[in-house]
Amino acid sequence: MVAKISIGSSLYGALAYNGEKINEEKGKLLVTNKIFDDGTGKVDIHRAVEDFNCYMPLQVRTEKPVIHISLNPHPDDKLTDLELADIAREYMEKLGYGNQPYMVYKHEDIARHHLHIVSIRVDENGKCLNNAYNFHRSKAISRELEKEYGLHTAERQRPTGQELVHKVNPSDGNVKKQVGNITKSLLHYHFQSLGEYRALLSLYNVTVEEVKGEARGREYHGLIYSATDDRGNKVGNPFKSSRFGKNVGYEAIEKHVAFSKEHIREKKLATRTKAAVITALKQTTNRGEFILALKTKGIDTVLRETDAGRIYGATFIDHQTGCVLNGSRLGKELSANALQEHFASPLADVRLPNLTPTHEPTSQFEPTSQQNDFFGGGLDLLSFDTQGTDRDEEAFIRQMKRKKKKKEQRKM
């Protein structure tokens, strides 16, 4: 049984969403706790709101006092309404919400019948209930209920490879939705810098840049996402991260980078990738063979190259471990400079353009103040860990900054 917990601020929204399904005969009201039920099979949404508000003081100490839970048994589990009601009660009791007001709805509008539970996560004093480790507690409770009721284990499936995510295709329309879906679908990967995140996104024709500056006397940091073509050139207008939600915004990615660094170190996740890259390097003499050899092992390679074809950056995306690793992070022998020397033979000019995207040094996004572009050098997210950045890549970026500065001075 898969349980999903969401929190929010709109009590009416949660009650109306579920209540309307019941009133349209797309489901049933199975259980209420401390909330009036007239027994007609219909839901008086306004009355439900009033009843919930009786347990919520005017002064609430949390911005999101509403909890919305969905319980999804395995499709092969055939349960009666009575059994579903008992499961919902036990789940709420074990989660610590047994004495809270709540309503349990059974949704029947799709073949896979499932439950929705609406409750509040504050006590009579307006203080938030214990919310620590709710996800892990919920998962443990689900396992307990599966054993108790003889249910199938129904783990939520997580994407394990790029085959589940498709590249942006402007001809399909709604580019904003495509870009948003890709950014959210890739958050299970572990990357330790904004550059590694950008390399991952490039596989799906998306790029990301950091913007920072000052507006109305306040400093701001943010991220913008853009669709690209197969060569890494931006297509259309960029999108602020806020249009896709907080999970892919500056602060969230910053935290993700910090977590990934610790997770990769503790689990030693880079070991498998490093061994695969070294083996592929020993067995190949040109870039094309090298890239294809790794691809057969579930590892994508993103090479950053100059117009002359010199490698100045290399990143490896291991879809099996979910790790994105710059070459120099794996060792000096796998840095961009080392790869360039290895493929310096006349046969080395075999490259796959769609796997080695380049990035435009400028952005179409124009905030009200200063913006850092790809060669801006002020990427705070990169400052977490400089070990994984190739020295020759840093030198190349500094060179591009100098060229850009001279060009701007000539225009003045």
CATH label of the domain that carries residue 93: 3.30.930.30
pLDDT tens for residues 202-211?
999 999 999 9
pLDDT tens for residues 56-74?
887 777 888 999 999 999 8
Choose the final residue of a domain: 117, 149, 181. Answer: 149
Confidence of residue 282 (pLDDT cuts 50, 70, 90): very high
Q: Which residues contact 296 (CB under 8 A, 6 or more apart)?
A: none
Assigned domain for 118 exists: yes
Domain that holds residue 395: 270-365+385-411
Query: What crossing angle do the helices spanning 194-202 and 250-267 adopt, rounded to 10°?
Result: 90
| Confidence at residue 393, expressed as pLDDT on a 0 to 100 scale | 55
- Do 140 and 33 have their domain in common? yes
Assigned domain for 309 exists: yes
| Confidence at residue 60, expressed as pLDDT on a 0 to 100 scale | 78
- Do 405 and 277 have their domain in common? yes
| Lowest mean pLDDT across 75-84, 129-138, 367-376 | 367-376
- Do 276 and 399 have their domain in common? yes
pLDDT tens for residues 302-319?
999 988 889 999 999 999
Mean pLDDT of 162-188: 85
| Confidence at residue 166, expressed as pLDDT on a 0 to 100 scale | 84
Asked if the model's pLDDT at residue 378 lies above 90, the reply is no
For the chain, give the mean pLDDT: 83
Q: Is the model more confident about 388 or about 170?
A: 170
Confidence of residue 18 (pLDDT cuts 50, 70, 90): very high
Confidence of residue 283 (pLDDT cuts 50, 70, 90): very high
Assigned domain for 199 exists: yes
Amino acid (1-letter code) at residue 148:
E
Assigned domain for 101 exists: yes
| Confidence at residue 10, expressed as pLDDT on a 0 to 100 scale | 87
Asked if the model's pLDDT at residue 28 lies above 90, the reply is yes
pTM (two decimals): 0.52
| Confidence at residue 132, expressed as pLDDT on a 0 to 100 scale | 67
SS3 letters for the chain? CEEEEEEECCHHHHHHHHHHHHHCCCEEEEEEECCCCCCCCCCCHHHHHHHHHCCCCCCCCCCCCEEEEEEECCCCCCCCHHHHHHHHHHHHHHHCCCCCCEEEEEECCCCCCEEEEEEECECCCCCECCCCCHHHHHHHHHHHHHHHHCCCCCCCCCCCCHHHCCCCCHHHCCHHHHHHHHHHHCCCCECCCHHHHHHHHHCCCEEEEEEEEEECCEEEEEEEEEEECCCCCEEEEEEEHHHCCHHHCHHHHHHHHHHHHHHHHHHCCHHHHHHHHHHHHHHCCCHHHHHHHHHCCCEEEEEEECCCCCEEEEEEEECCCCEEEEHHHHCHHHCHHHHHHHCCCHHHCCCCHHHCCCCCCCCCCCCCCCCCCCCCCCCHHHHHCCCCCCHHHHHHHHHHHHHHHHHHHHHC
Q: How many domains does the chain have?
A: 3
Contact 178, 227 (CB under 8 A): yes
Asked if the model's pLDDT at residue 8 lies above 70, the reply is yes
- Do 284 and 218 have their domain in common? no
Amino acid (1-letter code) at residue 263:
H
- Distance between CA atoms of residues 212 and 220, nearest Å: 5
| Confidence at residue 117, expressed as pLDDT on a 0 to 100 scale | 96
| Confidence at residue 100, expressed as pLDDT on a 0 to 100 scale | 94
pLDDT tens for residues 215-247?
777 887 899 999 999 889 999 999 999 999 999
Choose the final residue of a domain: 246, 266, 286. Answer: 266
How far CA 205 is from CA of 26, 167, 229, in Å, comes to 40, 6, 6
Assigned domain for 370 exists: no
**What phi, psi does 296 have (nearest 5°)?**
-65, -20
Choose the final residue of a domain: 240, 266, 292. Answer: 266
Q: Is the model more confident about 326 or about 392?
A: 326
- Do 36 and 130 have their domain in common? yes
Query: What crossing angle do the helices spanning 287-295 and 270-283 adopt, rounded to 10°?
Result: 140
For the chain, how far is it from start to end, CA to CA, in angstroms?
65
Rama region for 96: left / alpha / beta (φ>0; ψ in -120 to 50; rest): left
| Confidence at residue 155, expressed as pLDDT on a 0 to 100 scale | 58
Assigned domain for 376 exists: no
User: Strand 218-228 and strand 206-215: pairing?
Assistant: antiparallel
Confidence of residue 400 (pLDDT cuts 50, 70, 90): low
